[in-house]
Amino acid sequence: MVWTKWSYMDHWVTETPQGPQPPSFNRAYMDRYVKQLSALGFTGFDTFFFYLHMLGGMYGSVPGFERFLQDNGFEKITGIFSAYPSATRYTAPHVRETHDRIVADCTNTLRMCEGLTGVENFIVMPTSTYHQTEPVTDDTIKVVADLWNRVGRLTLDHGMKTTCHFEFWGAIRTRPQLELFFEYTDPEYVYFFCDTAQHTIAGVDPIQLFRDYSDRCTGFHFKDTKNVDEHEAYRTPPDPELMAPQVTRWFYEMGEGGLVDFPALMKEIVTSGYDGWLTVEHDKAELGGGSYAEATAVAKWYIDNVLAEAEAEARRELEAAR
């Protein structure tokens, strides 16, 4: 058996007559983007909540876009990513008074997904930036947990699991903070989304984290990094992702000499019995002259050749142990 549930998280940039732009530049560019992912064999598609209106306009409706995906060999839209990276006076997960507004936003996003085949993950950044949230106390984490418990109950009514994607620059980033958050959230409503690079940068072993929370894990972002944050870059205001003085590019595609041990993770996934989607994400792949297209092809090559072998090895070991 070969893992077939590989999805792609929509971050692309492509060259247009108006300079490098997301493929949503126009319908023709979007069509070409989907065809490229299809050629490589991706069958799931994740996107941001703020793209849904644009996709609806471009393809008649969000389900219309999903039909285009399906015409090109995709199974469906698998995940919707929602986030408030910057805290504002309207929306800040650590500020209880803004929760009603955030829940209303999530309701609107869910409405945009009506008619889709079956989005599985409602992926959220649990907090805004660390520097806007600190000091991060147990109570801060409790407030944040309360919000996602509410949202989790809501999304489950629409068939989607609210699943938390932690950033290295977010307010919940260390192992103790993560443990407390999972303790404060209801396992029935709030799940874990494992971004391999983000946890590694934050100094948390993503494989061990998955091992410990595999029963709550509903997805992954397979991406790599070459740096652990050793200079408290996560506290850099206003933004550590692009403005950290010591590290100009944090994220890399798999197989390029990064820190994440993807074959070991793949074996762990197979051994755990996880059977959900595995998502490839490239974030800021254009930094240093990189190309999203090539990064995606190289990552899929790594999946088809290196991870496929790790998966097969894990299955052989499972079989032998029976």
Partner 1 sequence: MRDTLRWAYALNQWNVRLDVFVRHEDQQRALKTVSACGFDTIELASGTGRWDNISRPEVILANHGSHESFLNFLRRAKVRGVSSMFWDPQAPAEEEEGYAFRSTANPADSDAIVEWSKPFVDFLAGVGGEQLVVRPVGSAWMSPPLDADGIKVIGDVWNRIGELASAAGIGLALHYDCLGAVHTEAELTGLLQATDPATVGLALDTAEFTIGGIDPVGFYREHADRVTHVHLKDTRYADTGQEYRMPGAESTMLKGGAGRRIERWFYELGTEGGLVDVKGFVAALRERSFSGWVVVESDHGGNPAELAMLNSWYLQHELGVSKS
Pick from 4, 26, 27, 28 the residue near partner 1 by CB under 8 A. Answer: 28
Rounded to an integer, what distance in angstroms lies between the CA atom of residue 56 and that of residue 180?
Answer: 39
Pick from 300, 307, 310, 311 the residue near partner 1 by CB under 8 A. Answer: 300
The least distance separating partner 1 from the CB of residue 16, rounded to whole angstroms, comes to 10
- Indicate the residue among 14 and 218 with the shorter CB distance to partner 1: 14
The least distance separating partner 1 from the CB of residue 295, rounded to whole angstroms, comes to 8
Q: Is residue 3 a contact point for partner 1 (CB under 8 A)? A: no
Rounded to an integer, what distance in angstroms lies between the CA atom of residue 187 and that of residue 60?
Answer: 37
Rounded to an integer, what distance in angstroms lies between the CA atom of residue 321 and that of residue 98?
Answer: 51
Rounded to an integer, what distance in angstroms lies between the CA atom of residue 271 and that of residue 274?
Answer: 8
- Tokens 């977010």 identify what position? 170
Angle value at C-alpha 60, between 55 and 63, nearest 5 degrees = 70
Peptide bond into 206 cis (omega under 30): no
Say how many residues make up the chain: 322
Binding part of the chain for partner 1, among 3-11, 89-97, 152-160, 288-296 by CB under 8 A, reads 288-296
Binding to partner 1 in span 62-81, by CB under 8 A: 72-73
Binding part of the chain for partner 1, among 39-47, 75-83, 131-139, 216-224 by CB under 8 A, reads 39-47
Q: Is 159 left (phi over 0), alpha (psi -120 to 50) or beta?
A: left
Q: Strands (DSSP E) along the chain, which ranges?
A: 6-9, 14-16, 19-21, 44-48, 76-82, 121-124, 161-165, 190-195, 217-222, 224-225, 251-252, 278-281
Binding part of the chain for partner 1, among 105-113, 266-274, 294-302, 307-315 by CB under 8 A, reads 294-302
Q: Is residue 254 a contact point for partner 1 (CB under 8 A)? A: no
Q: Is residue 14 a contact point for partner 1 (CB under 8 A)? A: yes
Pick from 301, 308, 312, 315 the residue near partner 1 by CB under 8 A. Answer: 301
Q: Is residue 279 a contact point for partner 1 (CB under 8 A)? A: no
Whether 122 and 170 have beta carbons less than 8 Å apart is answered as no
Q: Is 203 left (phi over 0), alpha (psi -120 to 50) or beta?
A: left
Q: Is residue 287 a contact point for partner 1 (CB under 8 A)? A: no
Q: Is residue 103 a contact point for partner 1 (CB under 8 A)? A: no
- Indicate the residue among 112 and 298 with the shorter CB distance to partner 1: 298
Q: Is residue 294 a contact point for partner 1 (CB under 8 A)? A: yes
Binding footprint of partner 1 on the chain (CB under 8 A): 14-15, 28, 32, 35-41, 72-73, 255, 291, 293-294, 296-298, 300-302, 304-305
